[in-house]
Structure formats: C-alpha cells, structure tokens
Amino acid sequence: MTGKTWEELIKQELFDKLDMSDSSFIDWGPRTNWTNWARWHISVGGLLLSDPLDISIFRGIGRSTGPAGAVALTAEDAGKWLSFQLSQGKDVSGRQVVSEDVINKMREASIVYTPAVLPNLNNTLPVAPYTHVGSDRYGQGIHIGWHRGFPMYSHYGGIVGYSAHMAMLPTANMGVFMARNTLGVPWAFQELRLALLDILLGETPLYNSSTICDINNLRYERPKNVKDEDLG
C-alpha cells in the first residue's frame, strides 16, 4: 500500500518522529555489521562464555516474527517510547505524533480471556490498593489488566536469547521497561515489574527477593479481609 517495507514505515512514521535515533531492526543489522548491538551471552555449567554468539544466526527468526521480535533499541529510546505512550501519542516536545483516538483504540479490549486461560483468577474487578491482574484482556498489540486499582497496559516479546518487557500505568503517569540478552524464563519480568511499579507508587512491593518465587503466586491471592460481596 505504501511501497515501503515494514521497517521503513516504522522508522519514518514513529522512530524518526520520536527521535529514537538508536532504534533499528534485526534485518538491518548487517548494514552496520551489527556495530553497537548487544550480543547474546549464555552460560554453560554456570560458567559465562567469554565470547558472545553471533547475532546474525538469528536474523531469520527476527525477520519471521516482525514486530513481535525484530526491533532493537536502547534503554534511552525505550524511555522515549514509554513517554510517547504515557503522553497519549506525543513526542518529548509535546508534538502530537499519533492521535489520542489511535492510542485509545489500541487499549480497547479485542479479546477477553476466559477462566480456562486464567484458571486461578476468581474475579477481575480491581480492588484498590492491592488487586493485581496482569492481563485479563488483549487490545491491539497490548495486554490489558490492573495493578492496585490502576489500569495497566503491558507487553513482552523477543527471540532466542533476547527478551524485553514493558508495563505502564497511564493514569499514574509511570511505566517500566526491562530487557536482557541471555537465556532464561521471561516470565520473571512480570514479577519484577510489580516490584518496580510499587516502588514508583511509594508502596511496599508485593514481590521481593523472598516472595518472587512463591509457589502460591501472589498475583492471584485474594487478601483475607476481602469478601465476595466486596468484589461485586
């Protein structure tokens, strides 16, 4: 329709307008011989390999996943992206890059998860200040949930050896971004985001070094003083 590749269109309409000058795509890595790209590090038997793996071997994976795993960006550019989201589509100077209607449309639920998807979830109604529902709906490329009574929008993604996670509370004007270049279970990001958001909110984190691996899964634990009638 535009005569441009997906990468060219995203760069022109978003990255350039948001001054995300250090953002790129895995398919463009060879253009600079992967200069300044974080390499994938792995450990064998607890020993971290001294030489990172060649990212080019994963280029095909990145190309096939497109926007789900093909974007590469710095922490600073990730901050600009969060600012763009929290300001309802504006760049750091206040210029409207994407209309508020489009941003709001992205956050409308297209899919509502069923109890089969979230079997431990008794009720999705937020009860401030402690309810956390990471995601009970899905919008246009974004998970929709609640944290301490605030609407929360989040997403995670990556390819082999790389993963990232973003979560934001627009009504509280805050968000977090995390990324890593090693193997491991990406779900730990979800617990870490809760601790970071709680710190930003000035609350005692629901998760800490002692409870982050709790098998009882605090995300779905109803406080003892909350009754059925309180949930509606």
How high is the pLDDT of residue 169? Answer: 95
Range 108-132 average pLDDT: 61
Q: pTM of the predicted model, to two decimals?
A: 0.79
| Cis status of the peptide bond prior to 129, with omega within 30 of 0 | yes
Q: Which of 37-51, 125-139, 147-161 has the highest mean pLDDT?
A: 147-161
Residue with the bigger pLDDT between 187 and 225: it is 187
The answer on pLDDT for 15 being more than 90 is yes
Which residue in 184, 114, 108 sits closest to 153, CA to CA? 108
The answer on pLDDT for 134 being more than 60 is yes
Q: Is 166 helix (H, G, I), strand (E, B) or coil?
A: strand
The answer on pLDDT for 84 being more than 90 is yes
How high is the pLDDT of residue 26? Answer: 79
Which residue in 59, 176, 85 sits closest to 139, CA to CA? 85
Residue-wise pLDDT tens digits, 157-182: 777 677 888 999 999 999 999 988 87
The strand pair at 174-180 and 43-44 is best described as unpaired
Q: Is 29 helix (H, G, I), strand (E, B) or coil?
A: helix
